[in-house]
Amino acid sequence: MKVKVLSYVAAIITILFSTSVFAAAPIKIGALFAVTGPAAFLGEPERNSAKMVIDEINKAGGVKGRKLELVAYDTTGDATKAVQLATKLIKDDKVVAIIGPSTTGETMAVIPVAEKEQIPLISCSAGSKITDPVKKWVFKTAQNDALAVGKIYEYLQKTKQTTVSILTVSDGFGASGREQLKSQAARYGITIVSDDTYGPKDTDMTAQLTKIRGSHSQAIICWGTNPGPAVVAKNARQLGIKTPLFMSHGVSSKKFIELAGEAAEGVRLPSGKVLVCDVLPNSESQKKSLMLFVKDYQKHYKSEGDHFGGHAWDAVMLLKNAIEHGADTPAAIRDQLEKTKNFCGIGGTFTYSPQDHAGLGKDAFVLVEIKNKDWVIVK
């Protein structure tokens, strides 16, 4: 009889223990970042930021009593690899959502997987076509290139610069930017007098810039991600080109200044406010989040938190917000993400809807200029 009682008690304890473990099972969040390879300047701070904020959430007790588990893979910036790893995250790791990838090309390749498997994807890439047209399972945190182009063109219109030359990289990000540069030009009274491209691995753009110099345009706009734009800045200086040079938000980190060196001086570009958060007025709604992010990143990684790491920070916090509202399955998380209103993040203040999975407006950007190897706001 005593043995039976002990066996019964042991069985009850086992059941209770199993139930406790099951109830406390972590919520798995997948991540695809280009931590190595040409796009590492995007993926490394994204991976670091995602890990940092999830560690902090877990130290504070998790979300509704459950820990978050980050399952992150390095895509090396390769679209084929990104698709393979997205499938692994869904089929093998059983994640409830995926953050990333780091680039527009990778994201466009992964979207069909997320849509077919019905897993929320929060891209950290900027291409407008990621969420335009709206795709049910796809959201993004990086500011749209459509907004970035508008920010540059507003400034050119204000300063009465009406002729521009554009030089765009021949990848997904560059193609999307080029499309926006061409489609928005007439709206701002701007004429594109030279339109050229360069390859992602090109190391010399003097031929394109020599052609641009002959066009006598009033501004040059280069659209790409490092290292190409740094090469463009250096080549322009070597050719003695004095025409104002604008870059895309794809280079809004200190890495561009490091790569371009003295040639970075005077370059202007649209950027999220994190680069200049220390000089923002206290009335700025984002300032608290921005300063917290920058200080946390500095403490953890001994370097400045940037625009790109902020995309991953926003993605994690948006998922946390959805889970706090009771969503812990892919479908429920998707539905809750779509209900996000006025979320103050690093990239801007997000409001998603069934008609808008990008969630940001023009106020997400400021126009910055590089002076003395640092950023200042262009008035």
The pLDDT assigned to 286 comes to: 87
Kindly report the pTM of this predicted structure: 0.86
CA angle 352, 353, 358 (to 5 degrees): 45
Kindly give the parts of the chain with pLDDT less than 70. 1-23
Q: Write out the two tokens for 263.
A: 């040639």
Contact 45, 309 (CB under 8 A): yes
Is it true that 23-143+286-359 and 146-278+365-377 share their CATH fold?
A: yes
pLDDT for 333 equals 98
The angle formed by the CA atoms of residues 188, 193 and 199, to the nearest 5 degrees, is: 105
- Per domain, the residue ranges of the chain are 23-143+286-359, 146-278+365-377
CATH superfamily of 23-143+286-359: Response regulator (3.40.50.2300)
Look up the CATH architecture of domain 146-278+365-377. Answer: 3-Layer(aba) Sandwich (3.40)
Give residue 355's pLDDT: 97
- Distance from C-alpha of 272 to C-alpha of 238, rounded to nearest angstrom: 30
* pLDDT score at 23: 53
State the Cα–Cα distance between residues 60 and 65, nearest whole angstrom: 10
pLDDT in the model for residue 104: 93
Alpha-carbon distance of 134 to 83, in angstroms, equals 20
Residue 19: the pLDDT is 43
Q: What are the DSSP calls for 14-44, one per residue? A: HHHHHHHHHHTPPEEEEEEE--SSTTHHHHH
Name residue 93's amino acid.
D
Query: The tokens of 70 are what?
Result: 């980050």
What are the tokens at 324?
Answer: 């706090």
Helix axes 145-158, 172-184, angle to 10 degrees: 40
Could you tell me which residues are beta bridge partners of residue 70?
29
Can the peptide bond before residue 354 be classed as cis, meaning omega within 30 degrees of 0? no
Token pair belonging to 353:
């809807």
**Residue 151, pLDDT score:** 96
pLDDT computed for residue 15 by the predictor: 47
User: 370 - beta bridge partners?
Assistant: 375
DSSP 8-state assignment for residue 371: E
Nearest to 181 by CA among 148, 219, 215: 148
Distance separating alpha carbons of residues 345 and 352, to the nearest angstrom: 13
